Structure 1
Amino acid sequence: MSSGKPGRSEQWRKYLEDSAHRLALAESQAGRLQSESGSREALESLQSIFHDFAGSGALYGLPEVSALGGEGEYLCTTVGLSERPATLAEVDQVATLIRRLRTVFQRVMTGPEGPRPPADAPRSTPLLLLAGSPSPERSAMADFLLKRGLQVEGLDGFRAAVERFRAGLPDLLATEVSLPDGTGFDLVRRFREIEGERSIPVLLLGAPELFHDKVEAIACGADGFLPSPVDPSTLFRKFRILLGRRRAASGRVLAVEDDPSQAAFLETTLKAGGYQVRMVTEPMAFEREIHAFRPELILMDVLLPGVSGYDLVRFLRQEEGFSTVPVVFLTTEGRRRAQIRGAEAGGDDYLVKPVTPEDLLTTVKSRLIRYRSLQEMMDRDELTGLLAHTPFLQQARLCLSRFTRRQVPYALVLVEIDGMEARTREAGARARDVLIQGLAKYLQRKVRQTDVMGRYGDQCLALVLEHLSPTDAVRLLDRLQTEFSQMDWPVETDRRVRASFSAGAAMASPSMKTLKAWLDAASGALKSARLQGGGRVALAPPTEAPPG
């Protein structure tokens, strides 16, 4: 009996056929866009086609196809968000991308050995298999995760999932507890049997509240569970943490060791474990190397020429950006003394020499997992899942720097829900949380993945929108405000309310020498919008660069 698993050559042949059909459709829609520059249907069709190429090229050993598809998808998304007809230059750009895609496929087809399937290559983006009953909620969850860089494949039940496992394992698995033809518990057990080792992150969705069932969820081989209703942003954050654990063996480790034989042992062992390694044999080079390498973990010998490892770590903790980087001391001191002195200096762990390769790799991996989990929690606002205040400002500063270097158009937007204080007095803090969280999720669905979003203040969200003109930015924000104001939000068990928001936008300009100046301009525009009565969008007036 056939296993039902298609051969790689068959998959490759089908991919080339599908790509030929997509290119023909893309050329047809590009011609339509040229004759009807305002055709939303043609633009959306092209966006979908480019999206397919972006997601599939690298899977078949054609990274150039993914790059061109991603560029086309971004272009179509930007034009779509601006709600204006495509310009002649943009139409020409679309046509050029399609021609370049066709050239790539022609090169594959007419190569000296014909259209042979490429060798297996690792996926460029993680693949999530989502097992359960077909439903609008599952489709919405898949759309949410797709926008955040995951490939998502839905599986309609136990048997369909097992067949898919045999065809190839994913990077992530999520399964509902109740399946049409079985249980999620049994599916996870079967998955672990096929996998052969417990390394791929697995989550159970809609797990019952009983303690016994939670224990069974872990016992069957799942890494965690999420109760109903499952929030897509919570699922995404959970998987990011679990993927971070899988990637722990690819972290950057800086080792400070002056003894040549010990340094060679550390470097050889860590590289064999899959880590990027930077050795520092001269303590005076420590400051330069940490800023150049940006390590995620530091191994620190205690006895160094001219200075102690404890002193270097005390210095490290004063350097901006390194206060939480884990440090593991390497020492010949007694365990109790090493533990006390290391903790006093700001260390996280210690290893007593001579260190075995197993102890070294185990300690490094566990400390990296904890560090990345901590970074994830620190970078994200707990209520909204957006970037927290400081990480958002760091990203905004990078955008301003890109504008200064390359003149890339950026709009900084501050958004506040109108009348929040009155709503909080009337319905309590829950109303505030529901509305802020609702606004954050709504904006996440509407803006591009490349745009930056964060929680700027207790009641204020912030965005940095890329490649939009002032007119396009205001038009987009006006549309979003209108849509949001027509949505109902459950602030109490039996009560739903509607809300509007005010937004202030400021375009990056040559006069914006600092992030503070950019933020001040957006804050002034937000204040202007609120003074107009709320539910408005205001754009900061352009500022001139100071005379040089």
Structure 2
Amino acid sequence: MNDPGASNPPLEEYLQQLGQQFAERLQQELPALAEQARQLLAVESEAQRQAALLALRDQLHKLAGSAGTFGFGGLGERARALEQQADQWLQQTQQQRQVLEAFSLQVAELQQQLEPTAPAPPLPSPPSAVPRGEPQPRCIYILESLGADGESVRQTLSTFGYQAEHYSGIAELDAALQRHVPDALIVDSELPDETQSGLQYAKALQQRLDAPLPLLVISAQDDFATHLEAVRAGAIGLFSKPLDLPKLENCLDRCFVQQQGEPYRVLIIDDDRDLASRYSLVLRGANMQVQMLHTPAELFSHLREFNPEVVLLDVNMPDCSGPELAQIIRFYDDWLRVPIIYLSAETDIARQMNAMLKAGDDFVTKPISDNSLVATVFARAQRARLLSMALARDSLTGLLKHADIKEQVAIELERALRNETRASVAMLDIDHFKQVNDRHGHAAGDNVIRALANLLRQRLRRVDSLGRYGGEEFLAVLPDCPADQAQRILDEIRERFAALQFVAAGQTFQVTFSAGFVLTDSQSSASELLERADRALYGAKHGGRNQVRQAD
């Protein structure tokens, strides 16, 4: 698709085409509805009349949900009123003939509602695409009046690979902001030498900027009022003194990972192809990846291959209802975290609650505007991804846990074989790590682990997978990466890591790591690749450490 950050004529054209297709569809469907209504008068059996009325009610329900989305608001409202009337009659055992005649006439008059009642709602403005390229160190400004604390934060963040600058006063920080706007800001809530508090300054600053900065607050106060003031200043985290610096950096990292993340993946399950296509176009225009499913029996393959982060699910579908499909999804632990949003023209609260109790997370009533659709899906997908990251990632490093990174090896091996490419699987281990813990303490050891995790994340590509394989051991999966490229990248990271200066209890020290890597091939399984990479790592360790070796 074209640049999603600008006006998108192709998308608008597609939406207009879908609207035209829907209008053409109505030219056939409305006369058919009128004929269905007329046939009610010719049915003599009460059971047959109930069945015919039920079928007509279902058609009116579908029309009520789709017409407004394509701009036929009056038609949708009239169809909804007739649907509700038919629904009431279905609760009765008999209908008087003169009442059915009036109802039949009203259904036939739906054709008079074919003129669009309002222009199509404006398309939502999609978020700007994050440029891809060589990763640059994130710039962090720190406003902290106590020099020792501010310098400690700056030094730790610099060790973790950030470009951190410490400022003791507001005037000094303002001058720096005139030269360059950072990627994030850390502010002390108490600034005793200033006329305003750190939170007051931060709140005013956010309002001056074109776009608010990720804001972290450090404070000696841990009360509710300080937390509330931090939220009102736009903070994404508050950290009490004495600072847990790895925890603070983890919050920063989580924020940046979220900003740079891949597009959210949305699966739409709806038997109305035109309506599903419109939803798909709108969500793709907002930089989301979308797949459509019209046949529920194909559910499992879509879930496995697409791995959606949100499921948009129609409630009323032939052969299998939305709540039934939602319950099938919830049978499996792998998909328990996927939010399910029901989309339906159903307005009865009791029925909505019944659907929600059967495995749903949200209920959106059709028709839904484009902006509301994007906002609803975005909010659910964002929360789902944050939860998945929290559960799947190591709390110290933010990298994938042991089981998840091992699974990535199998996934990438399968992809490499399918695409006839070669991937590299690398195992890294920090040299003499026990000595780091023994000499400098476990907190210093944690800082070393975090620093290597950050360096790996910064220097590798977004398509690469990283995990903490063990205590001080890491695993990297590099798709479409030949041996010479893997050797060069790993050596560059090794040299940069060896140059880092760590400080603990006033002592400065440096650390190195060793690595072994292997190329995927058609003869080796995922477990065999891991064994070969481990043997190469063993060879690097026994060959003198601080080196990278390729498996034989």
Q: TM-score, normalising length from structure 2?
A: 0.55
Residues 520 and 353 (structure 1 numbering): CA distance in 2 closer, same or farther, change over 3 Å?
Answer: same
Contact in 2 for aligned 1:521/1:540 (Cα 8 Å): no
Which residue pairs with 1:440 in the alignment? Answer: 449
Q: Does 1:457 align with 2:467?
A: no
Which residue pairs with 1:191 in the alignment? Answer: 205
Contact in 1 for aligned 2:265/2:290 (Cα 8 Å): yes
Q: Does 1:124 align with 2:136?
A: no
Q: Does 1:159 align with 2:165?
A: no
Structure 1 window deviating more from structure 2 (138-147 vs 208-217): it is 138-147
Contact in 2 for aligned 1:249/1:274 (Cα 8 Å): no
Shift of 1:201: 4.6
Structure 1 window deviating more from structure 2 (460-469 vs 216-225): it is 460-469
CA distance in 1: counterparts of 2:256 and 2:491, whole angstroms: 38
Residues 189 and 305 (structure 1 numbering): CA distance in 2 closer, same or farther, change over 3 Å?
Answer: same
CA distance in 2: counterparts of 1:164 and 1:478, whole angstroms: 33
CA distance in 2: counterparts of 1:277 and 1:284, whole angstroms: 19
Which residue pairs with 2:9 in the alignment? Answer: none
One-letter code of the match for 1:302? V
Residue from 505, 514, 523 that aligns with 2:525: 514
Q: Could you say what secondary structure the match of 1:299 adopts?
A: strand
Q: Could you say what secondary structure the match of 1:225 adopts?
A: strand
Q: Where do residues 75-474 of structure 1 align in structure 2 (5 Å cutoff)? A: 124=131, 128=139, 130-132=141-143, 136-137=151-152, 139-140=154-155, 143=158, 157-159=169-171, 161-162=173-174, 172-177=184-189, 183-195=197-209, 200-211=212-223, 212-228=225-241, 234-239=247-252, 241-242=254-255, 251-259=264-272, 262-263=275-276, 266=279, 270=283, 275=288, 277-284=290-297, 286=299, 294-317=307-330, 322-331=335-344, 332=346, 334-336=348-350, 338-344=352-358, 346-353=359-366, 360-397=373-410, 410=424, 412-415=426-429, 434=443, 437-444=446-453, 449-450=459-460, 453-457=466-470, 460-463=473-476
Q: Per-residue displacement from partner, 1:242-270 (whole Å, max 9, x unpaired)?
A: 46777899634332222467547745765
Q: Could you say what secondary structure the match of 1:330 adopts?
A: strand
Q: Per-residue displacement from partner, 1:465-489 (whole Å, max 9, x unpaired)?
A: 87569998998999899999x9786
CA distance in 2: counterparts of 1:247 and 1:477, whole angstroms: 21
Shift of 1:271: 6.2
CA distance in 2: counterparts of 1:441 and 1:473, whole angstroms: 19
CA distance in 1: counterparts of 2:468 and 2:497, whole angstroms: 18
CA distance in 2: counterparts of 1:166 and 1:246, whole angstroms: 24
One-letter code of the match for 1:175? V
One-letter code of the match for 1:507? V
Structure 1 window deviating more from structure 2 (243-252 vs 176-185): it is 243-252
Contact in 2 for aligned 1:207/1:214 (Cα 8 Å): no
CA distance in 2: counterparts of 1:251 and 1:123, whole angstroms: 14
Residues 195 and 409 (structure 1 numbering): CA distance in 2 closer, same or farther, change over 3 Å?
Answer: closer
Structure 1 window deviating more from structure 2 (392-401 vs 402-411): it is 402-411
Bigger Rg over Cα:
2
Residues 128 and 316 (structure 1 numbering): CA distance in 2 closer, same or farther, change over 3 Å?
Answer: farther
CA distance in 1: counterparts of 2:490 and 2:375, whole angstroms: 53
Q: Per-residue displacement from partner, 1:145-193 (whole Å, max 9, x unpaired)?
A: 766xxx8777674235456767887664433445675642122121233
Give the aligned CA root-mean-square deviation in angstroms. Answer: 5.4
Residues 529 and 281 (structure 1 numbering): CA distance in 2 closer, same or farther, change over 3 Å?
Answer: closer
CA distance in 1: counterparts of 2:322 and 2:229, whole angstroms: 46
CA distance in 1: counterparts of 2:203 and 2:395, whole angstroms: 32
Q: Per-residue displacement from partner, 1:324-379 (whole Å, max 9, x unpaired)?
A: 221112342754554454444x4322234565667645532331221121122134
Shift of 1:300: 0.3
Gap runs ≥5 in structure 1? 1-120, 544-548
One-letter code of the match for 2:314? D
Contact in 2 for aligned 1:327/1:349 (Cα 8 Å): yes
Residues 177 and 480 (structure 1 numbering): CA distance in 2 closer, same or farther, change over 3 Å?
Answer: same
Q: Could you say what secondary structure the match of 2:385 adopts?
A: helix
Contact in 2 for aligned 1:330/1:353 (Cα 8 Å): yes
Contact in 2 for aligned 1:477/1:503 (Cα 8 Å): no
Shift of 1:526: 6.2
Q: Could you say what secondary structure the match of 2:338 adopts?
A: coil
Contact in 2 for aligned 1:417/1:499 (Cα 8 Å): no
Q: Where do residues 484-499 of structure 1 align in structure 2 (5 Å cutoff)? A: none
